[in-house]
Amino acid sequence: MSASNGVLAPAPGRPAFPASPSVALSAEAAPFTPGGPDGSQLASLSDAERQFSRCAAKLRALRADCGQLREELNQLFDQLLSENYNRRCELPISIRPEDVCLLLKHATALVPLSQEHLVVKFCQLVHHLLNQLKVIMDEQTMEVLVNYTANALKQCSTWTHSDVLLAFSTVVYGNGSQCHQLVSDLLREDGVILQYSSPSQPNIELRHVALTCMANICLRIPGQPPLDDQYRSVCFTLFLKTLQTAKPPNTDDLFYCMIIQAALKGLQFCLSGGKWKFGVGEELGSVLAALKRLMFQGAPGLSVDWPAILYPAPLSQYETLSAPKPAEPPKTSKEADKTGKPSGKKKRKSKGKGKKTKTEESRLEDEEDDDKEAVSELHRGEREAEILPKQPSLLLYPSWKLNSSESEFSDLEGNAQSKLRVYQCRVRQLALHCMLAAVKAVERRSLYGYWSSFIPDSPAVGPPSLTLLTIILKDPSPKVRLCALQVLSAILDGSRQFLAAAEDTASPRTSYTPFSFMLATAIRELHRGLSLALLAETSSQTLTQVIKCQAFLVANAPYHRLRPGLLSLLWKQIRPYVRHRDVTVRGAVLRLYGAIVTAQAPLPEVQLLLQQPDSPSGSGGGVSGSVTPQDSALSWRQRNGAASPARTPAASPQQNSRTHSPHLPRTPREEEEKEEKASSPWLLRLCASLVTQPREDQPDSEGAGGGAALEPSPVRLEALQVLSHLVRGYFPLVQSSVYEIGQVSAQCLGETDHSIQLHSAKLLEEFGAGVIQQYRVENNVPESSRIPVDHVVGFWSAVLSGPLNAALQNEQHPTLQASACDTLASILPQAFAQLPDKTQLMCITVLLGLTYLDNYLVKTAAVRALGVYVLFPCLREDVMFVADTANIILAALDDQSTNIRAKAAWSLGNLTDTLIINMENMGVDFQEELSDMLLLKMLQAATRAAADRDKVKCNAVRALGNLLHFMRHSQMTRPVFQRPLEEAVRALVKTVQSEATMKVRWNACYALGNAFRNPSLPLETAPWSQDAFTALCHVVTSCKNFKVRIKSAAALAVPAQRSCYGDPKRFSCVWHSLATALENSEDAVDFLEYRYCASLRHTLSEALLHLLSLSKQQDMPELSASLAGEEGRGIKEHLIRYLKAEEGEGKTREDEAGEQRNSGEESSHPQQRMGRLQQTLVRLKSLEVEEGGKEEKEVVVNFLEDLLKICGPRPFTE
């Protein structure tokens, strides 16, 4: 557009001006001056900046009373609209946002609403500047523009509303929550936006702009509150109604696609504003049905009767294929002009509209460039796609792989069809974006019922159901396939609990199909479809998402309940892609390998894969048709060039031999390492080489350059994670590579990359944890299968003398320091004892010093590591080390960080465990050697921690129980200990009776039982004794958690003397509580508690027999009354089952260990139970009672004799 009055418009071919540095938004920025910049500044500005500065200066100089105001405004608006302010231009645009806001605010005062043509141009200018310059407005500017456009909607004619709404949508973009009053006026039933966006609106262009405006109102920018739920609900309903409404007659397909795109964006913004709040009934089914239909918008040869609502069901809701429509004769070019394109009159309505559609045209050009592959491939494959339903064998073959021999359209028709396909492709893409938002917003359980509508649950026989796999395999656009893979990944993520029911190991039933078998079939179909996509995908970005989606599937599927073979096929298929040219693909492959080795590890199928021999002819050599030997995969970096993973031939043995170093004499250590490498799994050696070995050449995609270079950091990080997963899940297979793992870790710890150092420290920690697990007694690992202790000592000696020490002192990276502390805590205790004294001293000194740092991560890890060390046999008998550790823990318990206090409480629990062990092994000598004041401080600190948060409290009560067990009689009688002693017991009682988490409560019950084992505890005379027994009696009968009941019953059975139970009234209370708990032992509120029923009855039976063994003359009246009545018959029934070893068979190993800790005895054999019962009977018979109490005694004796008679003496059998 030419310019006049001295304002020059940009001329084509003008030489470029040097770009000026961008001006930062700050209070010190130069203020806007109407006079404009001087000549020196203009020389450094781009054409658009100079034009804007001159026009803004002239506009600021205008006043409302100017004589030529209308002409001046019209000309200035045209000049401003003629410039392209897009920041993707050659010269950077540095127009300040505050200058744009000042210009627009001043223009609102100059453009009266009566001048409708000027109003239209001004609205176009608002959209043009704010949209292209990405201006973030201040509140005042937003308020001025919102009020101006709202008044224009009320006062101006209808023909202006399209441009006014476009400006309004630009202003409220992401600011809908800040315009409450205006939004409420526009979104009411008779509001302008609702009227214009209604499906009954005949003006398609106006409807499109109104829907866009509603979508921008619903958009939520991070950091801002979402739109009110009532307005979101109104918009949601209208968007859904728009998607469900069929295309109006005589409506151009392109404009209809634009309507659908605007509605999909709005629905996506509604769903992205938070959790789903629109109902989970038909509303959810309607949304999913509409989205599923639009996922296939424009698919060639597809004629389906789509359901209006999807209902949750275990079976697929197969879409009904409509009868094929008769072939229509091809339209002539004139007919295509009438029906295939919008009319020219509509396009050239005004200059402003032409300028408005200019940005849309540029956006369309970008989309056409992005989707050029999709259009061309779909154009070539349309004819084959139309006949696909008749060819079941080709149904799952990707349609973009099918080529057509000739085109069906002329050039003019082809351009129109290509444009329509781009729009339809965008609809499918937005529908999948919206589906992704719905998956994230809807609760998982609500979504499980719709799985069969989007995931196939049966093999394709005949026409397959239309699912996400159909899009992944057949859509011509790589972007759409990528979106479908993202949706499938989101559905699979977190579905482990749902898929856990899948099983197909048993023979299939012919009468009906179990739900577990259907789930297993769905998993197999997902494997099959994703494997086809993996082989057919050509886009690196989409290929990466295919592999990531497979990783989500592997991480959530229960392969231990499925027939083996799925992971083996996947293992072979992904193997060639380890050498893919694209870095993200290689990283995704390693992530998938990590998912495989963590899936229900150790999995027998994966163990076999890891143990396969390293030979090209092995079953794990590669994919059929594109075999890639393992040695070829290891040496791919040494070959010149990199071909497609499916077409690179394997390197010949002669070629590989060239890379070998000359034969040199090897030391015995080198020979040993060579043997370890030969026996280590292929995946471990691959990951080790990716992490440590340099690359002799770089693929073209990563740039050329001389010299060796390591793999990119993302690939190395993924390889280190796979190594950690291997060590954690398959330690027996990798333990022979102890030196190789040590070398990898040492080399990575010596690097400067913080992430590499962190992951290598994690690898060391996992290796140390694996060794510790081997040496645990309960794991029963044969000594011949363990790593020898001297090897472990050598491993840690090398690691601790290397860069790990530097990592411990690296204060620049506290996360690395914390991880290094965790590594120190994973040293095998037996190996630590054999380390040199200076190495042991270094570890202890470093950990003690790190507890004084301010960083909470380092402090937490150091306190935890000291809590581990205090249990080491070589350190726990060192009173000085125990005292130093106790003082560190006591200081950490007063820290402000909850995490530090939680780890300190855990370490205090370990330290008090050490006190109990030393008391049992060393006797009174250790108790006397430990300072009384230190013991008092620990008791008081643990009491205070018992009132802290649950994560602190659960270990604080454990420490209290140990401390009360450890105290001597001489300490309890001292005045300084008496009050803390009472406060400690009352803290335990309060915790037992509280509403804390169940773990805290059962730890408190266990702690009381632990305290009761101290014979010096004055249970018979202390005032708090009654409260302790009352709390345990209440919990054993009323707590809904059975593990808490078990711990409380075990605690009630701990006291070894009758006097500990107090008077007959308290003894009777304990007896009746245990009897009532035994009677109600099957009344579980939560079905998950039923697995503990047998263990609970076992513990209660032992407790009742324990009370009978301690009973005295004064207890006979209550016992006889109980055993002679209805309560006694129930007790007898359960005791018979206990004595016959029918109770306790369902106990877990954890329960048995807890009972042994409480009772101090091994789990008794039935013969031993009968022996204790006979001893009790003999003692009661010899019990002397008064003349009036003989009858009560006879009742109890007869009860025990009946038990012996029914159960009978049994010969002891192994």
Q: What is the pLDDT of residues 115-163, one digit of tens each?
A: 999 999 999 999 999 988 888 888 889 889 988 998 998 899 999 999 9
pLDDT at 1206 > cutoff 70: yes
Q: How many CA atoms lie within 13 A of 653 on its CB side?
A: 3
What is the distance between the alpha carbons of residues 965 and 956, in angstroms, rounded to a whole number? 14
pLDDT at 620 > cutoff 50: no
Q: What local confidence, expressed as pLDDT, does residue 656 receive? A: 38
What lies within 8 Å, CB to CB, of 316 at 6+ separation is: 452, 453, 456, 457, 458, 465
Section 401-428 average pLDDT: 66
- Reported as a single tens digit per residue, the pLDDT across 178-197 is 777 777 777 777 778 888 88
What is the distance between the alpha carbons of residues 9 and 30, in angstroms, rounded to a whole number? 26
pTM: 0.78
Per mean pLDDT, which of 23-32, 168-177, 642-651, 721-730 is the most reliable?
Answer: 721-730
Q: What local confidence, expressed as pLDDT, does residue 341 receive? A: 39
pLDDT at 644 > cutoff 50: no
Is it true that the peptide bond before 602 is cis, omega within 30 degrees of 0?
Answer: yes
DSSP string for residues in 405-457: SS-SS-HHHHHHHHHHHHHHHHHHHHHHHHHHHHHHHS-HHHHHTTHHHHS--
Section 349-355 average pLDDT: 40
Q: What local confidence, expressed as pLDDT, does residue 1085 receive? A: 64
Section 64-89 average pLDDT: 81
pLDDT at 326 > cutoff 60: no
Helix, strand, coil fractions of the chain, as percent rounded to 5: 65, 0, 35
Q: Which residue has the higher pLDDT, 475 or 390?
A: 475
Residue 1024: both structure tokens together: 């708090």
Per mean pLDDT, which of 344-348, 453-457, 738-742, 960-964 is the most reliable?
Answer: 960-964
Taking Cα atoms as reference points, which of 1205, 1203, 1198, 1100 lies closest to residue 1151? 1100
DSSP string for residues in 76-109: HHHHHHHS---TTSSSPP---HHHHHHHHHHHHH
Distances from the Cα of 1001 to the Cα of 525, 565, 724, 946, 994, angstroms: 46, 45, 35, 11, 8
Contact between residue 254 and residue 207 where contact means Cβ atoms under 8 Å apart: no
- Reported as a single tens digit per residue, the pLDDT across 241-251 is 999 988 888 88
Section 1181-1199 average pLDDT: 82
Per mean pLDDT, which of 396-405, 544-553, 1088-1097 is the most reliable?
Answer: 544-553
Cα 212–215–220 angle (5° rounding)? 140
What is the distance between the alpha carbons of residues 778 and 1149, in angstroms, rounded to a whole number? 10
Confidence of residue 384 (pLDDT cuts 50, 70, 90): very low
> How many percent of the chain have pLDDT more than 90?
45
Confidence of residue 962 (pLDDT cuts 50, 70, 90): very high
Confidence of residue 709 (pLDDT cuts 50, 70, 90): confident
Q: What are phi and psi of 668, to 5 degrees?
A: -55, -35
Query: Mean pLDDT score of the chain, rounded to an integer?
Result: 79
What lies within 8 Å, CB to CB, of 126 at 6+ separation is: 104, 145, 149, 167, 170, 171
- Reported as a single tens digit per residue, the pLDDT across 806-850 is 899 899 999 999 999 999 999 999 999 999 999 999 999 999 999
Segment (H or E) for 321: strand 320-321
Contact between residue 612 and residue 618 where contact means Cβ atoms under 8 Å apart: yes
What is the distance between the alpha carbons of residues 559 and 569, in angstroms, rounded to a whole number? 13
Burial degree of 506 (CB within 10 A; 0-12, 13-18, 19+): exposed
pLDDT at 22 > cutoff 60: no
DSSP string for residues in 300-319: TT--EE--S-----SS--PP
Q: Coil, strand or helix: which one is 1140?
A: coil
- Reported as a single tens digit per residue, the pLDDT across 1152-1187 is 444 444 444 445 677 888 888 888 888 888 888 776
Q: Which residue has the higher pLDDT, 512 or 827?
A: 827
Confidence of residue 1142 (pLDDT cuts 50, 70, 90): low
Give CA torsion, residues 830, 832, 835, 839, to 10 deg.
-170
Section 527-535 average pLDDT: 94
What is the distance between the alpha carbons of residues 426 and 390, in angstroms, rounded to a whole number? 28
What is the distance between the alpha carbons of residues 96 and 878, in angstroms, rounded to a whole number? 70
Q: What local confidence, expressed as pLDDT, does residue 468 receive? A: 93
What is the distance between the alpha carbons of residues 592 and 710, in angstroms, rounded to a whole number? 22
pLDDT at 1010 > cutoff 90: yes
Burial degree of 552 (CB within 10 A; 0-12, 13-18, 19+): buried
**Residue type for position 58:** K
Cα Rg, the chain, nearest whole Å: 39
- Of 26-40, 207-221, 400-414, 733-747, the poorest mean pLDDT is in 26-40
Confidence of residue 698 (pLDDT cuts 50, 70, 90): low
> How far from chain centre, in Å, is Cα 620?
32
What lies within 8 Å, CB to CB, of 753 at 6+ separation is: 713
Q: What local confidence, expressed as pLDDT, does residue 1188 receive? A: 64
- Of 215-229, 287-301, 307-321, 384-398, the poorest mean pLDDT is in 384-398
Q: What local confidence, expressed as pLDDT, does residue 911 receive? A: 96
- Reported as a single tens digit per residue, the pLDDT across 980-998 is 999 999 999 999 999 888 8
End-to-end CA separation in angstroms for the chain = 103
Q: What local confidence, expressed as pLDDT, does residue 337 receive? A: 42
